[in-house]
Amino acid sequence: MKGRLFIKIHENDNVAIAVNELPVGTKLTDEITTLETIPQGHKIAFKDFNKGDAIIRYNVILGYALQKIKKGSWINEHMLELPTPPLLDEMKSGINIVKDLPKAPIRTFEGYRNPNGGFAGTRNILGISTTVQCVSGVLNVAVKRMKEKLLPKYPNVDDIVPINHAYGCGVAINAPDAVIPIRSLKNISKHPNFGGELMVVALGCEKLTVEMLVDEADINPENVVVLQELAGFNAMIDKLMEVAEIKLKRLNERKRETLPLSDLLIGMQCGGSDAFSGVTANPSAGYATDMLVEAGATVMFSEVTEVRDGVYILAERCVNDDVMKKLINEMKWYDNYLEKGKVDRSANPTPGNKKGGLSNIVEKAMGSIAKSGSSPIVEVLSPGEIPSKKGLIFAATPASDIVCGPSQLASGIGLQVFMTGRGTPYGLAISPVIKVSSRNNIKNLWSDLIDVNAGVIATGESTIQEVGTKLFNLIIDVASGRKKSWAELYELHNDLCFFNPAPIT
């Protein structure tokens, strides 16, 4: 990065972050000179702090100084005491409803209309669901054979994807929290990219029975293969190939057509975040979010622990008290969930987050929320729920990349935008993933993994609006099948780790 030396977000902030590493003795202003080397992205004290003084960034108290800190010094994670999380029962809804959103330059895309209505597909995929991990070995062999022998016969089908997971047996299937993985697996079997074609592979003795995963009307030999009912491995493979070909023939008739953006559902997620994430990548994604919502699309953002410290900001954007109450209930559920594990939201930041300048979860949360833009929040979902409204939605998923992603897939996203500061090769097989970097360094290092570089915002070479518009246009192109993201091109597919807070027996 070049040009400016530091970035200060708000006039009330008493810290700034270093755009590049700043050597000791670097003059920042007439009053401030660095007293030590400041690593890239880390905070610089813009005043003298006494023990207990508030340290402010984003016009928010990140924490309280644990010691005296001189102006020009490096402030790192060891110098802050975490503040008390916001109280949930004192929030107000509907007091910050923004209606004047940036106008979208495009209002349609080329997608796949689905026979059961709902959101449109962005890809044409045969998705094969499973009731239990025990069938994965056989299914993986079958899918390999399907791709070699069947898929070339059906050129309009993009891929065949097994929905392998670790759930289904050895679990407390009737525990209250088991509703989360069961709902997620049931909903993902009907993903918009699967074109209404249902194919399920079961073992036959698992706790997650076919009846729990599939509607009664859909339980028939054309949709469900039970391995214990077949005479050996070759019979299993033959049956799976037979059922798959029936589905592939129908999927091959599926065609893209011009659809309104109101038929599109996009997911927003961030991972490997750093101090620039909330300055460049996430705000540009937030600008794209606002344009999508303005054009009628639905956008979903998530990660409970990464909004918990800014939840009052989200409450003010909830369109009514009912939406806010659902938000409060999801926050309380997660607070209790963490308490059971003897941790709190401070367990979220990773060593990489801290190395990238994020001192604690408060600072991370303020940057994470930026990807939601400024649109009103019309609905709050539990993990794996399908939206019933259109607009901006908060889906209460864990923050873990590989758990949040499958939860958003279960909710039906046709494409995901993934912001990163430290870099990650993350990807999803069911929906394409667009990567946005927060720093020029990451784009330069991973030129063939990062799709959009927002680091140019930090250096002053571009604006949030310009990068956000570029991202918006790429979203439409990828959703329409005109372009592929790097993750999709390389088939970078993470495992599907579905959220299961219920006991494992």
Distance, CA of 480 to CA of 482 (rounded, Å): 6
Distance, CA of 451 to CA of 435 (rounded, Å): 5
Q: What are the angstrom distances between the C-alpha of 149 and each of 57, 224, 239, 242, 245?
A: 57, 21, 14, 12, 10
Cα end-to-end distance, the chain, whole Å: 52
Buried/exposed code over 137-173 (b: 16+ C-beta within 10 A; e: otherwise) = ebbeebbeebeeebbeebeebbbbbbbbbbbbbebeb
**Which pTM was predicted?**
0.95
**3-state secondary structure (DSSP) of residue 504:** strand
What is the gyration radius of the CA atoms in the chain, in angstroms?
Answer: 24
**CATH code for the part of the protein at 110-251:** 3.40.50
For residues 203 and 224, the answer to whether their CB atoms sit within 8 Å is no
Quote the pLDDT of residue 115: 87
Give the H or E element holding residue 300.
strand 298-301
Total H helices, total E strands in the chain = 14, 20
Distance, CA of 344 to CA of 362 (rounded, Å): 12
Nearest CA to 393 out of 298, 262, 285 is that of 298
Give the H or E element holding residue 335.
helix 321-340
Q: Is the dihedral of CA 99, 118, 496, 476 positive or negative?
A: negative
Nearest CA to 273 out of 346, 372, 350, 373 is that of 350
Quote the pLDDT of residue 116: 83
Q: What is the pLDDT along the chain (505 residues), one digit of tens a residue?
A: 447 999 999 999 999 999 999 999 999 999 999 999 999 999 999 999 999 999 999 999 999 999 999 999 999 999 999 999 999 999 999 999 999 999 999 999 999 999 888 999 999 999 999 999 999 999 999 999 999 999 999 999 999 999 999 999 999 999 999 999 999 999 999 999 999 999 999 999 999 999 999 999 999 999 999 999 999 999 999 999 999 999 999 999 999 999 999 999 999 999 999 999 999 999 999 999 999 999 999 999 999 999 999 999 999 999 999 999 999 999 999 999 999 999 999 999 999 999 999 999 999 999 999 999 999 999 999 999 999 999 999 999 999 999 999 999 999 999 999 999 999 999 999 999 999 999 999 999 999 999 999 999 999 999 999 999 999 999 999 999 999 999 999 999 999 999 999 999 9
For residues 500 and 170, the answer to whether their CB atoms sit within 8 Å is no
- What are the structural domain ranges in the chain? 1-84, 110-251, 264-489
Question: What would the two tokens of residue 487 be?
Answer: 């993750």
Quote the pLDDT of residue 1: 40
Give the H or E element holding residue 352.
helix 351-355
From the candidate CATH numbers 2.160.20.60, 1.10.150.120, 3.60.70.12, 2.30.130.110, the one assigned to the domain spanning 1-84? 2.30.130.110
Distance, CA of 226 to CA of 339 (rounded, Å): 40
Cβ neighbours for 214, distance < 8 A, ≥ 6 positions apart: 186, 189, 198, 200, 223, 224
Q: Which amino acid is at 249?
A: K
Q: Give the CA dihedral 22, 1, 401, 81, nearest 10 degrees.
A: 20
